[in-house]
């Protein structure tokens, strides 16, 4: 199934602070604090990409060409907090909405899922040929850095500090050098065929 995902509302905070990075490394507070802040963003984006997770609350659009063949739709970028809407475009250009009363939300699973109730089917309408289904959802561990599991926060702080001290290295090489995947300990991308 062809799909795409786009962040529509970024997180309001980062999982680690400048002080977290400084206390995790041998870097002194000073004139390069702005650089470290940028490296925190870079490290966070890399950890979210490698783990395929949303760490701090953020909103996404998950676009599919069609509804799944079964009654369950897996939602990428766990942990899923909520579904804002499930909309679809018919072949004639008109739109429809799957109402919340017609599905059950599973936020406990990884990835989160939307399951239709037994009495409901996905729209049988002829759908637009590309990007017909749009699921808008909210994901992340919470609004605060302290909501994020420590292994992700530690990985981000270590990666940002390592990138500061080894500025010439590409991020993938730096992540490998510190053993980032072993630190964060999971990957869920395989669920989506990646």
15 CB-contact burial (10 Å; exposed 0-12 / middle 13-18 / buried 19+) = buried
Three-class SS state of 132: coil
Q: What is the pLDDT of residues 70-101, one digit of tens each?
A: 889 999 999 999 999 999 999 999 999 999 99
- As a whole number, mean pLDDT of residues 104-115 equals 95
User: 75 is written with which tokens?
Assistant: 């939602």
First CA to last CA across the chain, in angstroms? Answer: 12
176 has pLDDT over 80: yes
193 has pLDDT over 50: no
| Residue with tokens 């899922």, as numbered in its chain | 113
* Predicted local confidence at residue 123, as pLDDT: 74
Pairing of strands 72-75, 58-64: unpaired
What is the average pLDDT value for the chain, to the nearest integer? 89
The pTM score is 0.89
User: Is the peptide bond prior to 127 cis by the omega test (within 30 degrees of 0)?
Assistant: no
List the 95-97 sheet strands across, edge first.
3-9, 58-64, 133-139, 80-89, 95-97
Q: How far apart are CA 180 and CA 158, in angstroms?
A: 9
Q: Indicate the helix (H) or strand (E) that contains 157.
A: helix 150-165
Backbone angles phi, psi at 101, to 5 degrees: -70, -15
Q: How far apart are CA 88 and CA 66, in angstroms?
A: 9
Backbone angles phi, psi at 46, to 5 degrees: -70, -45
């Amino acid at each position: 199934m062809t799909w795409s995902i786009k962040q529509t509302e970024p997180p309001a905070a980062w999982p680690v602070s400048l002080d977290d990075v400084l206390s995790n490394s041998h870097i002194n507070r000073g004139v390069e604090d702005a650089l470290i802040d940028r490296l925190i963003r870079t490290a966070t984006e890399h950890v979210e990409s490698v783990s395929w997770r949303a760490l701090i609350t953020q909103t996404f659009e998950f676009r599919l060409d069609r509804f799944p063949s079964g009654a369950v739709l897996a939602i990428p970028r766990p942990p899923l907090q909520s579904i804002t809407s499930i909309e679809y475009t018919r072949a004639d250009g008109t739109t429809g909405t799957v109402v919340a009363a017609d599905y059950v939300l599973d936020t406990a699973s990884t990835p989160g899922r939307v399951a239709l109730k037994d009495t409901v089917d996905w729209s049988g309408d002829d759908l637009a040929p590309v990007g017909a289904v749009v699921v808008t959802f909210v994901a992340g561990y919470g609004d605060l850095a302290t909501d994020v599991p420590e292994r992700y926060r530690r990985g981000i702080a270590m990666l940002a500090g390592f990138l500061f001290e080894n500025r010439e290295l590409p991020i993938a090489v730096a992540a490998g050098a510190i053993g980032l995947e072993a630190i964060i300990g999971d990957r869920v991308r395989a669920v989506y065929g990646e």
